[in-house]
């Protein structure tokens, strides 16, 4: 009997007909202003994957522009459309809606593996100790200390950049991350991971604020899961913000397998809002 993981229940979609895939939004992924953007990206990607209906075509690119956060608890409809299905590449769009409100717009590309040169001049962050040598994150038990629900959804071990509150010289943050329930890392998990770390701006700036995602783009750099993927695998995540201006900032990310395979690259634009 197949195991149903928490992540799969929380990102599940049901086909309602005419390309409409309905999801129950889980409060386990809430941040200060609604569900986490990476979580919504995983929900949208699951619906788009079902619309492609071809396991040989792996997700290669996903971009979501968020218009507003959905209400939680509540349902979300992902209305998919196959824009073009070529010999090797399928291009799709999706509207994320709740009732009569637009939540987000998505574009995605799925493709068969294609012949061509293969190289990677990028490298994982240097000097990162293995996860078993990094201190697990300790969450406060004091109920008076407000924590977003997502803080308990990932298992993380800090290893890159300065922890929040230390105000290092650069907005760089990252380390080892995985789902606590033990689930192989596939494209859905990677999509969520691209927005799963504490924003690196908190390692640079001490001003109380929230940084909701305006748009998120994920480029999947290999077919997932990896052939040797295991349920207890850690992923090394590194995120960096180089500029903040006019109330917006960018965040660039890279995700690596423990063996050094580049899994995905991401970029998002986030708004800077006061913490209220």
Instruction: Kindly report the CATH number assigned to the domain that includes residue 237.
Output: 2.40.160.210
Work out the burial of residue 213: count CB atoms within 10 Å of its CB; fewer than 13 is exposed, 13-18 middle, 19 or more buried.
buried
In a domain, 57, yes or no: yes
Mean pLDDT of 248-259: 98
Q: Which tens digit of pLDDT belongs to each residue from 177-234?
A: 999 999 999 999 999 999 999 999 998 988 888 999 999 999 999 999 999 999 999 9
Closest C-alpha among 216, 249, 257 to residue 233: 257
Closest C-alpha among 43, 10, 24 to residue 179: 10
C-alpha count within 13 angstroms, C-beta hemisphere, residue 211: 23
In a domain, 44, yes or no: yes
Closest C-alpha among 22, 21, 31, 66 to residue 198: 31
In a domain, 1, yes or no: no
In a domain, 257, yes or no: yes
Mean pLDDT of 28-53: 96
Res 138: pLDDT: 78
Q: What domain range includes position 215?
A: 6-112+130-274
Mean pLDDT of 1-10: 74
| CA 202 – CA 26 distance, rounded (Å) | 26
Residue pair 97/79 in contact by the 8 Å Cβ criterion: yes
Question: Who contacts 259 (Cβ-Cβ below 8 Å, separation ≥6)?
Answer: 228
Q: What band does 236 get if pLDDT is binned at 50, 70 and 90?
A: very high
Mean pLDDT of 152-179: 89
In a domain, 123, yes or no: no
Question: What total number of domains does the chain contain?
Answer: 1
∠ CA 209-192-174, rounded to 5°: 60
Q: Which tens digit of pLDDT belongs to each residue from 95-133?
A: 999 999 999 999 999 999 999 999 999 999 999 999 999
Closest C-alpha among 63, 61, 60 to residue 114: 60
Rg (CA), the chain: 18
Q: What band does 162 get if pLDDT is binned at 50, 70 and 90?
A: confident
């Amino acid at each position: 009997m197949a195991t149903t993981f928490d992540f799969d229940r929380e990102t599940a979609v049901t086909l309602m007909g005419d390309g409409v895939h309905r999801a129950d939004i889980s409060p386990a992924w809430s941040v200060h202003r609604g569900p986490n953007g990476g979580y919504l990206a995983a929900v949208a990607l699951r619906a788009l994957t079902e619309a492609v209906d071809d396991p040989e075509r792996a997700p290669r690119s996903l971009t979501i522009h968020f218009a507003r956060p959905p209400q939680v608890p509540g349902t979300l409809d992902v209305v998919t459309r196959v824009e073009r299905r070529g010999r090797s590449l399928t291009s799709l769009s999706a509207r994320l809606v709740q009732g009569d409100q637009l939540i987000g717009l998505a574009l995605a590309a799925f493709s068969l593996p294609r012949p061509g040169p293969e190289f990677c001049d990028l490298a994982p962050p240097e000097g990162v100790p293995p996860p078993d040598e990094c201190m697990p994150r300790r969450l406060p038990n004091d109920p008076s200390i407000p924590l977003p629900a997502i803080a308990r959804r990932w298992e993380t071990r800090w290893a890159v950049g300065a922890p929040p509150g230390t105000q290092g010289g650069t907005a760089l943050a990252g380390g080892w991350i995985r789902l606590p329930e033990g689930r192989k890392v596939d494209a859905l998990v990677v999509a969520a991971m691209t927005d799963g770390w504490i924003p690196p701006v908190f390692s640079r700036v001490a001003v109380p604020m929230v940084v909701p995602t305006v748009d998120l783009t994920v480029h999947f750099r290999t077919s997932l899961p990896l052939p040797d993927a295991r349920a207890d695998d850690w992923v090394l995540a590194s995120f960096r913000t180089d500029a903040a201006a006019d109330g917006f900032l960018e965040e660039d990310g890279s995700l690596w397998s423990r063996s050094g395979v580049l899994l995905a690259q991401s970029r998002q634009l986030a708004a800077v809002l006061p913490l209220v």
